[in-house]
Amino acid sequence: LNELRLLLGENKVYFFNNDFASEESIARVLKNSPIVFVDFLGDSFVKNTFTKLCEFEISIIHATPSVNTKNREASFKEQMNFLERIENHLFQLKFNHAGVIMPTTLSKEYSEMTKNGFLSIYKRRFEVMLYIENPYEEV
């Protein structure tokens, strides 16, 4: 979250906390589109190792005022440029006790005219391997 906020701005990146629960929160959030929501999906230990695979998902959300083809095309390009900036930034990060951040899947989740404009939502999943200190290793 902190890295993405430094890259994109405080008002562009949020931890997913159900901001779409009401019409007012949807309208408030979409004023700054495109925006990114980050969500932690879960983790799993890799058998017989001291590593844990963590999975995250980011949602890139953009609203345009109409369904006009040029507006939708511009929106799509803006979302993809936004996503590319995020991916390039995440590839360059180096963490202690972790592998590189790797993207897995990209999917279009939503694309419709709403009362807040034409809304598009793309979701990108990322994985990162965490290395846990071996408690049985002698120091």
pLDDT in tens, 44-85: 998 888 889 999 999 888 888 777 788 778 888 888 888 898
Say whether 21 sits in a helix, a strand or coil.
coil
Residue 107 has pLDDT above 90, yes or no: yes
| AA letter at 74 | A
Q: Supply the pLDDT for residue 41.
A: 92
Q: Supply the pLDDT for residue 23.
A: 65
Token digits for 94?
């180096």
Closest C-alpha among 75, 95, 93 to residue 35: 75
User: What is the rounded CA–CA span in Å between residue 55 and residue 30?
Assistant: 26
Task: Give the residue-averaged pLDDT of 5-31.
Answer: 74
Place of tokens 């890295």: 3
Distances (CA, A) of 63 to 22, 32, 69, 109, 132: 16, 9, 13, 14, 41
Residue 3 has pLDDT above 80, yes or no: yes
